[in-house]
């Protein structure tokens, strides 16, 4: 590795002081054109790159935004990340990515990792931290889990995406999930379904609770009797979707649901697979609605009717809010976006 060049080296070679070098580097004060050119030439010649560590140490800003998410492999996250990135990049920020996923799907381990990441990010002096997924989706996070984030929030701007921490009063950007679930359920009801089940998610998570709440609201207002055994949680993965759907679809034809509302698109894709395995055609014999609208929702066969969480827009919005937080511009504490029903091919009126 080559020995790094510093402002001093440049200054010496140009017969000027480091201050002048710094001035041309940052355009922070007028410099005589001829010396500026000389310095610029030397900088270019050595391909000099100022040490951002030193600069940040002094300026107390790094231009880095830390982001803690639970699993980059879940397509939902890259989608919002991408929105965040595009918007934040235009404002000069770069990203510090922390994936708290645990190899063995152990939540405790995941939350521990979140804590560690929170600390690492603060030590690295990021300008802001955004949290998405993980503990902020817990309906009843422990006191410490909340406290840690609150403490972090005292030192650096913290923004929560699609989640919350009861009693923490942090800035948030979120999509109204209950409303999203209502959209989905209402669509099913309007198609004529009366035997609808909800599958997927984790019942200890607030996102799941809200989605189920929306679902039940619509059933109730439609005068459909509730069946607690038709609300089955267990996970957000395709594998879980297959399993949960199978349980329901193996019931005799008259006694099984004619429509499945899923906690997310992954589960819906699992349901699609389960239906196929059972020889049930979608949407003719079974309607399926997803949630999130990840890209693959449009690519499955049949294409998934789903609720768009506008991942990209959420990301962009979050980046905007974060920037305001960092620059101490006034922003609303909570920004709620509206979900949207996307009707594609996986839903139809029930078979008669």
CB of 95 or CB of 107, closer to a copy of itself: 95
Please, what is the angle between helix 7-14 and helix 33-46, to 10°?
Answer: 130
Q: How far is the CB of 35 from DNA (least distance, A)?
A: 4
Q: How far is the CB of 227 from DNA (least distance, A)?
A: 58
How far apart (Å, rounded) are the C-alpha atoms in residues 46 and 42? Answer: 6
- What one-character DSSP code corresponds to residue 351? P
Q: Which of 37, 45, 59, 142 binds DNA (CB under 7 A)?
A: 59
8 A C-beta contact, residue 36 and residue 101: no
Q: Is 167 in the site for DNA (CB under 7 A)?
A: no
- Residues 29-58: x/- map of binding to DNA (CB under 7 A)? xxxx-xxx-------------xx--xx-xx
Give, in degrees to the nearest 5, the angle at Cα 8 between 5 and 13: 85
Out of DNA, a copy of itself, none, what residue 343 binds, judged by CB under 5 to 8 A for its kind, is none
8 A C-beta contact, residue 69 and residue 102: no
How far apart (Å, rounded) are the C-alpha atoms in residues 41 and 10? Answer: 10
Out of DNA, a copy of itself, none, what residue 78 binds, judged by CB under 5 to 8 A for its kind, is a copy of itself
Report how far apart, in Å, the C-alpha atoms of 173 and of each of 14, 42, 203, 228, 282 are: 50, 46, 22, 32, 35
How far apart (Å, rounded) are the C-alpha atoms in residues 195 and 230? Answer: 9
8 A C-beta contact, residue 288 and residue 343: no
Q: How far is the CB of 58 from DNA (least distance, A)?
A: 4
Residues 205-244 that bind a copy of itself (CB under 8 A): 238
Q: Which of 23, 135, 172, 256 binds DNA (CB under 7 A)?
A: 23
- Residues 129-158: x/- map of binding to a copy of itself (CB under 8 A)? ----------------------x--xxxx-
How far apart (Å, rounded) are the C-alpha atoms in residues 67 and 331? Answer: 20
Out of DNA, a copy of itself, none, what residue 29 binds, judged by CB under 5 to 8 A for its kind, is DNA
CB of 94 or CB of 142, closer to a copy of itself: 94
Determine the 3-state secondary structure of 117 from DSSP: helix
Q: For DNA, how many residues bind (rule: CB under 7 A)?
A: 31
Q: Is 18 in the site for DNA (CB under 7 A)?
A: yes
With CA atoms as reference, report the closest residue to 342 among 181, 184, 224. Answer: 184
Q: For a copy of itself, how many residues bind (rule: CB under 8 A)?
A: 55
CB of 68 or CB of 138, closer to a copy of itself: 68
Q: State the DSSP string of 266-331.
A: HHHHHHHHHHHHTT--TTTT-EEE-SB--GGGGTSSSPPBEEE--HHHHHHHHHHHHHHHHTT---
Out of DNA, a copy of itself, none, what residue 349 binds, judged by CB under 5 to 8 A for its kind, is none
Q: Which of 25, 40, 120, 280 binds DNA (CB under 7 A)?
A: 25
Residues that bind a copy of itself (CB under 8 A): 1-2, 4, 47, 49-54, 56-57, 62, 64, 71-73, 75, 77-79, 81-82, 85-86, 94-99, 101, 103, 119-120, 122-125, 151, 154-157, 238, 269-270, 272-273, 276, 295-296, 299-301
Residues that bind DNA (CB under 7 A): 4, 6-8, 15-23, 25-26, 28-32, 34-36, 50-51, 54-55, 57-60
């Amino acid at each position: 590795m080559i020995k790094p060049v510093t402002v001093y080296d440049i200054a010496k070679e140009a017969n000027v002081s480091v201050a002048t070098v710094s001035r041309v580097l940052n355009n922070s004060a007028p410099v005589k054109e001829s010396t500026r050119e000389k310095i610029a030439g030397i900088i270019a010649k050595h391909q000099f790159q100022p040490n951002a560590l030193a600069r940040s140490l002094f300026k107390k800003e790094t231009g880095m935004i830390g982001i803690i998410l639970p699993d980059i492999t879940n397509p939902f996250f890259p989608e919002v990340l991408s929105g965040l990135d595009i918007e934040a990049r235009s404002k000069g920020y770069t990203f510090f990515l922390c994936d708290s996923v645990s190899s063995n799907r152990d939540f405790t381990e995941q939350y521990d990792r979140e804590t560690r990441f929170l600390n690492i990010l603060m030590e690295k002096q990021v300008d802001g931290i955004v949290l998405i997924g993980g503990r902020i989706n817990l309906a009843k996070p422990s006191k410490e889990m909340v406290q840690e984030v609150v403490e972090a929030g005292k030192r650096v701007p913290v923004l929560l995406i699609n989640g919350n921490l009861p009693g923490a009063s942090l800035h948030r950007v979120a999509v109204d999930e209950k409303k999203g679930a209502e959209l989905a359920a209402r669509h099913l009801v309007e198609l004529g379904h009366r035997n609808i089940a909800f599958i997927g998610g984790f019942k200890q998570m607030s996102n799941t609770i809200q989605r189920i709440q929306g679902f039940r609201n619509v059933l109730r207002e439609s005068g459909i009797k509730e069946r607690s055994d038709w609300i089955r949680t267990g996970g957000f993965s395709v594998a879980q979707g297959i399993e949960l759907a199978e349980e329901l679809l193996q019931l005799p034809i008259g006694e099984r649901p004619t429509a499945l509302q899923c906690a997310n698109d992954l589960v819906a894709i699992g349901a699609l697979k389960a239906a196929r395995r059972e020889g049930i055609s979608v949407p003719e014999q079974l309607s399926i609605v997803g949630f999130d609208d990840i890209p693959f929702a449009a690519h499955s066969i049949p294409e998934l009717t789903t609720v768009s969480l506008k991942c990209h827009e959420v990301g962009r919005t979050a980046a905007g809010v974060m920037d305001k937080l960092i620059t101490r511009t006034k922003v609303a504490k909570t920004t709620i976006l509206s979900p949207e029903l996307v009707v594609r091919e996986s839903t139809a009126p029930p078979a008669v």
